[in-house]
Chains A and B, each alone.
Chain A
Amino acid sequence: MGSKYYDIDAILTDAQKIPCTFEVDVAGLGYLDGNDNNDMKAGTKLELPLWLAEVLAVSERLGTETFIHTNLPHALSAPVMNALKANPLSVNLRELAMHFYALGERMVNLVEDAEEELVDTLSDTFRQRVIEIADHAVNPRGALGEGSDFLNGLEESERQVFRAAHDSSKAMKGWRAEKK
Chain B
Amino acid sequence: MDMALPHQHLTPQEVAFICESELITIVPRQRLDALNLISINTRPLVPPQRAEVPLWLAVFLRKQKRCNIVPPDWLTVDNLDRLVKEESVSAAFSQMPWRWMEVAEILLDACPDDLNGPADIALHIRTLRELRQAKIRAGLADQINSSYIKINNLGLMEVCEIRPWVGKVVDGLRKIEGETGSAAARKRKEEADEDEDEDMYDDDL
Give the contacts of B11-37 with A (CB-CB under 8 A).
11-13, 16
Name the contact of A175 in the complex, choosing from B12, B163, B176, B183 (C-beta under 8 A): B12
Could you tell me the distance between the alpha carbons of A172 and B141 in the complex, rounded to whole angstroms? 21
- Chain B 172-203: CB-based contact to A (< 8 A → 1; otherwise 0): 11011110111100100000000000000000
A90 within 8 A of B: no
Name the contact of B16 in the complex, choosing from A104, A115, A137, A175 (C-beta under 8 A): A175
**Which residues of B lie under 8 Å from residue A135 when comparing CB positions?**
137
Beta-carbon contact of A105 and B16 below 8 Å = no
- Chain B residues at the A interface, C-beta cutoff of 8 Å: 9, 11-13, 16, 105-106, 108-109, 133, 137, 140-141, 144-146, 157, 160-165, 167-169, 172-173, 175-178, 180-183, 186
Beta-carbon contact of A179 and B180 below 8 Å = no
With A120-B183, A168-B9 already in contact, the answer to whether A102 and B175 are too (CB < 8 A) is yes
**Which residues of A lie under 8 Å from residue B157 when comparing CB positions?**
172
Give the contacts of A149-180 with B (CB-CB under 8 A).
157, 160-161, 164-165, 167-169, 171-172, 174-176, 179-180
- Chain A 125-144: CB-based contact to B (< 8 A → 1; otherwise 0): 01100110011011000000
Could you tell me the distance between the alpha carbons of A108 and B180 in the complex, rounded to whole angstroms? 9
Question: For chains A and B in complex, what number of residue pairs have CB atoms within 8 angstroms?
Answer: 90
Beta-carbon contact of A180 and B175 below 8 Å = no
Q: How far is the CB of B24 from chain A (nearest CB, A)?
A: 17
Interface residues of chain B: helix, strand, loop or mixed (majority): helix
Task: Kindly list 12 other residue pairs between chains A and B, CB separation below 8 angstroms, not including A131-B144, A137-B165, A175-B105.
Answer: A116-B183, A120-B183, A123-B173, A126-B176, A130-B169, A157-B172, A160-B168, A161-B165, A171-B12, A172-B157, A174-B12, A180-B109
Beta-carbon contact of B109 and A179 below 8 Å = yes
Beta-carbon contact of A123 and B176 below 8 Å = yes
A46 within 8 A of B: no
Jot down 23 A-B pairs with beta carbons below 8 A, ordered by A.
A108-B178, A116-B186, A119-B180, A123-B176, A123-B177, A123-B183, A127-B145, A127-B169, A127-B173, A130-B169, A137-B165, A157-B172, A164-B165, A164-B167, A167-B164, A168-B163, A168-B165, A169-B161, A171-B12, A175-B11, A175-B13, A175-B16, A176-B105
Beta-carbon contact of B161 and A172 below 8 Å = yes
Interface residues of chain A: helix, strand, loop or mixed (majority): helix
Closest 9 CB pairs between A and B?
A175-B12, A165-B165, A164-B165, A164-B164, A119-B180, A131-B141, A179-B109, A120-B183, A168-B164
Could you tell me the distance between the alpha carbons of A65 and B18 in the complex, rounded to whole angstroms? 62
A122 within 8 A of B: yes
Q: How far is the CB of B124 from chain A (nearest CB, A)?
A: 15
Could you tell me the distance between the alpha carbons of A126 and B169 in the complex, rounded to whole angstroms? 8
A67 within 8 A of B: no
Name the contact of B178 in the complex, choosing from A105, A134, A180 (C-beta under 8 A): A105
Could you tell me the distance between the alpha carbons of A115 and B109 in the complex, rounded to whole angstroms? 56
**Which residues of B lie under 8 Å from residue A115 when comparing CB positions?**
180
Could you tell me the distance between the alpha carbons of A108 and B162 in the complex, rounded to whole angstroms? 30
- Chain A 79-112: CB-based contact to B (< 8 A → 1; otherwise 0): 0000000000000000000000110110010000
Q: How far is the CB of B117 from chain A (nearest CB, A)?
A: 18
With A171-B11, A180-B109 already in contact, the answer to whether A116 and B175 are too (CB < 8 A) is no
Q: How far is the CB of B205 from chain A (nearest CB, A)?
A: 34
Name the contact of B165 in the complex, choosing from A102, A120, A134, A175 (C-beta under 8 A): A134
Q: How far is the CB of A96 from chain B (nearest CB, A)?
A: 15
**Which residues of B lie under 8 Å from residue A104 when comparing CB positions?**
176
Beta-carbon contact of A172 and B172 below 8 Å = no
Name which residue of chain B comes closest to A130, CB basis: B169
